[in-house]
Structure 1
Amino acid sequence: MQLYSMPSSGNSLKVRILLALTGKPVQIIDCDYGSAALAQAKADGVLPYGKVPALVLDDGQLLAESNAILWYLGEDSAFVPADAVTRAQMLGWMFWEQYNHEPVIAVRQALVSYPHRVADATPERLADLLDRGHALLQVMEDRLAHHDWLAGDMVSLADICLYGYTCTAGSRGGFDMDRFPAVCRWLDRIAAMPGVLDA
């Protein structure tokens, strides 16, 4: 398999983490913003929606969207709960990540990290994203204050999915992670899993 991945992207990171945790062999092709590799990937038609991550399977079929790739790679693994209700709860967190968490947590990180986004980083927008992001992190805190994992009693795709941008929420996004001790303990649990920090 080949994974087209942006090194600084949380959406790419979570796919790399699951690949590391499952031990699936893959060739990773780094596609930084504005790079020749990204332009070539678009020209070659291997990015179905024009963005990374994208996974090219051994038979040449293409998969896009990070959470869809997670679902494919996680199928029949311990990262997908066997119980139907817990599995649906896991999917709920994954949908919430893309619809609520990522558009705030990841966007604020992008605005303060990428030079090409600086024009959009107005003080008003950054302040709004900060407030909204803290409210979203509180949703996670409320769950993780009483549970080790987001869905069920074991690590699942939901945890890998939410780790992608939460792990850099403080360092890149400026969110006050001291307000969320349970989230920080959860981040440490995931980071301690074999291969995660090297992904």
Structure 2
Amino acid sequence: MSNSGAALTVYGMSTSGNCHKVRLLLEQLGTRYEWCEVDSAAGQTHTPEFLAMNPNGKVPLVRRNDGRVLTESNAILFWLAEGTPFLPTDGWQRAQALSWMFFEQYSHEPYIAVARFICGWTPMDSPRRDELPRLRERGHQALAVMEQHLTAHDWFTGPHYGIADIALHAYTAVAEDAGLALSGYPALQRWLQRVREQAGYTPMPTPTAEVQARLAASR
């Protein structure tokens, strides 16, 4: 629940999966926060003011009223989920959840998210579009790993829904924007539906009409 009197400010781009992860968990926790929209695609993460908070020039970023700042989406999820049902208390299960979150950032997001960005946020004649075949190939490899896991398990966080599922859901849910059809992954599709059925679920906002047109033309 966004609230201007909240003790937590989130800087993020609403149509970014990495940023939406944070918003989704906050909504499901019922935490009060203020959302500050930052258009990273337009260079707003490279202003002197933003770089003073995060020299790496990326969103999401959360800032507490005491001035402390935390960056990196999955680190933010871990911090927010501490002491809640979204993070297992058992050490082995916590490590398993973290392993999937590392997988998401190393083997999933760099391909699916980047392909989506190229499809929607670069011109149709951008030379970066030459990267799409390789990115899609690697993206399908990541989806296949997830499909294999989901044939025997309901969730990635452990026996219950949690932050590893939130992390992996973000860009998987919009993988078709990147030109990755999900029709060949039935277990993954059932998992996506289970995520959507969780209390407090909030879908990622729709990009602008211009971005949507490029996404459609790139599929």
Q: What do residues 164-183 of structure 1 show as CA deviations (whole Å, max 9, x unaligned)?
A: 1111001x111110011111
**Identity fraction in percent:** 39
Match of 2:50 in 1: 42
Give 2:180's match in structure 1, choosing from 157, 162, 175: 175
Q: What's the secondary structure of 1:71's corresponding residue?
A: helix
- The 5 A counterparts of 1:1-199 are 1-32=8-39, 33-34=41-42, 39=47, 41-42=49-50, 45-115=52-122, 118-122=126-130, 125-170=131-176, 172-198=177-203
In the alignment of these two chains, the number of paired residues is 195
Q: What's the secondary structure of 2:153's corresponding residue?
A: coil
Q: What's the secondary structure of 1:143's corresponding residue?
A: helix
Relative to structure 1, is the Cα distance of residues 88 and 168 closer, same or farther in structure 2, using a 3 angstrom cutoff?
same
Offset at residue 46 of structure 1 (A)? 2.5
User: Partner amino acid for 1:78?
Assistant: P
Q: What do residues 21-80 of structure 1 show as CA deviations (whole Å, max 9, x unaligned)?
A: 11111000111221668747526x233421110000121100000011111101111011
Relative to structure 1, is the Cα distance of residues 183 and 198 closer, same or farther in structure 2, using a 3 angstrom cutoff?
closer
TM-score under structure 2 length normalisation = 0.83
User: Partner amino acid for 2:137?
Assistant: D
User: Partner amino acid for 2:27?
Assistant: A
How far apart, in 1, do the equivalents of 2:132 and 2:203 lie? 30
Match of 2:214 in 1: none
Q: Root-mean-square deviation (CA), in Å? A: 1.9
Offset at residue 133 of structure 1 (A)? 1.0
CA contact (8 A) 2:18 2:170 kept: yes
How far apart, in 2, do the equivalents of 1:41 and 1:29 lie? 13
User: Partner amino acid for 1:126?
Assistant: L
Q: What's the secondary structure of 1:18's corresponding residue?
A: helix
Relative to structure 1, is the Cα distance of residues 152 and 17 closer, same or farther in structure 2, using a 3 angstrom cutoff?
same
Moved runs in structure 1, 4+ residues, more than 3 A? 35-41
Q: What do residues 7-34 of structure 1 show as CA deviations (whole Å, max 9, x unaligned)?
A: 1110001000010011111000111221
Q: What's the secondary structure of 1:113's corresponding residue?
A: helix
How far apart, in 2, do the equivalents of 1:153 and 1:87 lie? 11
TM-score under structure 1 length normalisation = 0.91
- For structure 2, the 5+ residue unaligned runs are 1-7, 205-219
